[in-house]
Amino acid sequence: MSTAQLWISLIIIIIVLIFAAIFVAAEFALVKVRRSTLEEMQNEREKPSRKITRTINMVDNLNEYLSTTQVGITLAGLLLGFMGESTVAHLLLKMGIIQEMTGPSAGVIASVIALVLLTYVEVVFTELVPKNVSIEFPVKVGLAVSGPLKFFHVVFYPFVWLLNVSANGVTHLFGMKTASEDSEVYSEAEI
């Protein structure tokens, strides 16, 4: 792998990590944010906000948009696995971090170290940090990610729809009802 290819791969990996973080942030923000909070924000404005309206729509169609986030997270994970391990392993070998070994054992050790490093970075920066931020600031995060999530939802809608239909079918095979937005629990203040 040339130096230029290595840099291009690293840039793509960083972009994929950012996308994964956005999808995880969206997932937790949509689950945490209350429709009533968004409606209150909308009512306080002179002109309706498209971001708020879009986010309310996502909360109203939670199951569908959570499926969208899962598709995004899964695709990002697949891309990260496909590109990440070999890129980081090449980087470790190129930087001379694994110097004393030669032959296949150096490549195997570089791959294992790359996998551990990528897993750590992926869990911390695309799972835990976005989760914590979204739980702390669900409205801000929900509004911030609603545009990219809506775009992804539109582009991948046939795939998201197919997965939802498949999951609902499997759920029914087990004799269970499908999750519904109508079964939400509300606080006393909201009632």
Structural domain includes residue 13: yes
Residue 153, classed as helix, strand or coil, is helix
Q: Does residue 184 fall inside a structural domain?
A: no
- 187 within domain boundaries: no
Total domains present in the chain? 1
Distance CA 125, CA 40 (A): 32
Q: Rounded distance, CA 157 to CA 151, Å?
A: 10
pLDDT at 191 (0 to 100): 43
| Among the listed residues 95, 26, 89, 91, the one whose alpha carbon sits nearest the alpha carbon of residue 59 | 26
Decide: residue 124, CB within 10 A, 0-12 exposed, 13-18 middle, 19+ buried.
exposed
- Dist CA 71 CA 75 (whole Å): 6
Percent of the chain residues past pLDDT 90, beyond the cut = 63
Which residue do the tokens 């986010």 mark?
A: 55
Report the distance separating Cα 186 and Cα 165, nearest Å.
28
Segment 7-22 shows an average pLDDT of: 93
Ramachandran assignment for 88, one of left (phi > 0), alpha (psi -120 to 50 degrees), beta (any other): alpha
> Residue 185 domain-assigned?
no
Asked if the structure places residue 190 within a domain, the reply is: no
Mean pLDDT calculated for residue range 44-64:
93
Neighbouring CB atoms inside 10 A of 162's CB total 10
Instruction: Give the pTM.
Output: 0.83
Joined together, the tokens standing for residue 95 give: 């930087």
Report if residue 191 sits inside a domain. Answer: no
The predicted-structure confidence for 158-168, as pLDDT tens digits, reads as follows 999 999 999 88
Q: Per residue, what are the HEC states of 28-68?
A: HHHHHCCHHHHHHHHHCCCCCCHHHHHHHHHHHCHHHHHHH
58 pLDDT more than 80 = yes
Cβ atoms < 10 Å from Cβ of 101? 13
pLDDT tens digits for 59-72?
A: 999 999 999 999 99
Q: Which two tokens stand for residue 189?
A: 């203040």
Residue 93 CA to residue 6 CA, distance in Å, equals: 12
DSSP code of 125? I
Quick check: is 189 in a domain? Answer: no
Question: Structural domain of residue 166, as residue ranges?
Answer: 3-179
Q: Please indicate, yes or no, if residue 186 is contained in any of the structural domains.
A: no
* Sign of torsion over alpha carbons 26, 28, 30, 35: negative
